[in-house]
Structure 1
Amino acid sequence: MQAVTNATVANDISTVNKALQTKLSQTEQLKNMLETCLAEVVSEIAELLSTRKRLEERGGKVADKIGVNSNRLQVRSGRPTREMTMDDVEKSLLKQQGLLGSFAERVNRAIAQARGLQGGVDKEIAALEAVRAKLEADLRDKLEALRVDEAVLSVPVDAGAEGTLSASFRRAADCTPKTPHSWVRSTEDNLRNAHHWLADSARLRKAILHAVANSRANEHDMSARLNENMMAKVAATRNLREDLQSQLERVRDEQARARAQRASLSAALEAKRGPLAQARERLAVRRARPCREAVNDEVEAALAREVAHLASITQQLSDKISAVDKEISALDASANQLTDNIRDKDEALRIDERMVMLDGRINVAQRPPSSVASFALSEMSAPRTQTLARIRELEASLGAARLEREGMESSLRQLKESIGSPAY
């Protein structure tokens, strides 16, 4: 009987030890899975924090660029009235302002809110922190379970030995034992939940990085086009200013020639006034002869022809002077208009160059501080086309005036030749 009892006890002890070994193996396996998953969660939280930091830094850079863009719009609003046009520069500034503002809003939403790029970063971090807390609690319980089961294995099983359990192996409070299936499922549920949030977080980070990359590419393209348009505008304004200055110099030359011609005509007219007055006086005196001596003879006819001839020449000179005065008036108006236009171009050029350098450049020739490529001249803007058309109109008008003046000079030479040596 004693032998049977001893055999039964030995069998029971062996069964318990095998069950403990199996349980220890299962618990160890679950513990390893929890540790691996917890490390992934901790790493993912760090990645999310790094992503949020990059987003915040990116948001700060975007805010700085919005400030530069706003300053450029404000500075450009000070251009002269005739230079205020919706050109390529203005369109690029407004388009870039909208793009930067939209991205800044998305960045703020992605950082702090549950909307935006597939969920907010802060929301994702909070969820992972909750997952981390559950995993850590489960891992602590698994470590404690391993310690307890290992302690159970270490309890002596000799018949004469009498073991005592430490107080640390007393459960603080009674609880309802789980079934082996629910025990495993509880940890598996924690792991599945953790993997779900890990995958969700990875998708969020991928979406954020994709959005940031797209935004940076779009912003780079916009900045490149804006820089090209600004530099093209500066070059076009400078070229227009030079064209206008050349045109003004030609008008000044025409003014000088026209005034010299007027002075010559005025001198010629003044030179004829005396002879005309003398001729009229001679004719009047001749007509004072007695009535019986009043004869339309050759002397009378010659005096009358002289007066008529000198009067005709004087009238022609007066007409020429009037025509030259009109030409001088037109040249003065053109010179004033060109001067005003040059002044506006100088002011517009000063403002455009100042606007270009708002991004930190020391001078206009320097490359922009970002990776924006150097500019290439774009197509001619509408204001430049209009200005060049106006220049062509002025040149045509001046050409016609020059031909008219040359015709008058030719007529004047013929008149001078005809009266240079009077036969009387």
Structure 2
Amino acid sequence: MAQTEVLLTKQPAPQTVPACELPRKEYEVARNTGAYSSSGLATAGFRTAKYLVDEWFQAGYARYHQAFSDRDRSERQRQESGQLAAETEALAQRTQQDSTRRVGQRLQDAHGWMSELQREVTELLAETDLLLAQKQRLERALDATALPFSITTDNLQSRERRQAPDLVRDRVEVELLKEAELIRNVQELLKRTIMQAVNQIRLNREHKETCEMDWSDKAQAYNIDETCSRYHSQSTEAHFHPHSTAFEESASTPESWARFTQDNLLRAERERLASADLRVLVDCILRDVSEDLRLQCDAVALAFGQRCEELEDARHKLQDHLQKTLREISTQEHNVGALRQAIKDKEAPLRVAQTRLYQRSHRPGVELCRDTAQLRLVSEVGELNQSLAALREKLLEAEQVLHNLEDTRLDLEKDIAVKTHSLCIDRHKCLTLRARYPTVSQLAGYQ
């Protein structure tokens, strides 16, 4: 009987095997096709409907591999699902905490702006009341216009008789002109100031109302945000609002929101500061009406006193400079004489040097040599000529300085006389007349 050998040869596994798959075992069947082969007509009907042994092994290994792959994929999916659930839970908690924190920050910002608005409203209200009181004072002081114009006019006319160079627009004249202008314009100034105070009061009230409306809106928004800050995942008041994420077209940005309140505060503060400045101005005007005319008189008297001191000091300095100039004239005269004598003293050495050069020019033949003695005599003559030129130039300069000193002496004596005349006008005429200036109570209209 023919023998059939069936050889099962195990093939090596592939080089790269996926981590989640088992290595597939493949078998090859070595069929005997020789003379002793058992395949023939007797087995033809059974061969076509059955699997081979290697196919049976392959089907089993396919089931094992599929089961392993499904378990591995299921395990990965469970791990990923758990990880995703944990991450989404942590993300939800973080985002809710961050949202709560940001709502809290918003509450702090809103509370800060509300405090600023409340402070500004309070300060505006107090400032308006103070300005109303100043307005009443202005109205009561409107009649205080009886002023001593004749004294100021007389002082100005008297000072026009000063001589040059003292006929200057000094501080005394500026104060006198300021006093005369104040006397002429005080009534008109009070009326203008009253109208300005009325307008400022209206602006203060308008900006106070603007700040109050802004504060009211922020208080309402603060209450809403405070309610929102108390919500959490276990809150029973929380409901689904799918369309709440849509932004309103009229919604503001954080920058425009802050800028709106900041602009309101800046405008209110600007008006409040303007109102405070106006109150200071009103105080100054009221003092000008009741007391500052007398204070201006004192300012003029002080200016007169300072001017007289300046004139007295200038006269003393002029007299001192005159004495020093006289002494310098005497000294310069001696200097001119000394320079003339120095020029005269250089003539003898120059004659000697020139004579030596003349005599040596008669040396015979080769003896007429440019030796060191000859060179030194030539340089000596040059030096003496330079010295004489310098002395003559210095003499001319000294004589010019002496001439200038004489002119300065004349100018100083003339200026001393002018200062004495100016002192007589300011001290003896103007200040004597200003001693009769009215008192504060008289200028205020109480007498």
Q: TM-score range by the shorter chain?
A: 0.3 to 0.5
Q: Which has the larger radius of gyration?
A: 2
TM-score, normalising length from structure 2?
0.38
Say which structure is richer in helix: 1
TM-score (norm 1): 0.40
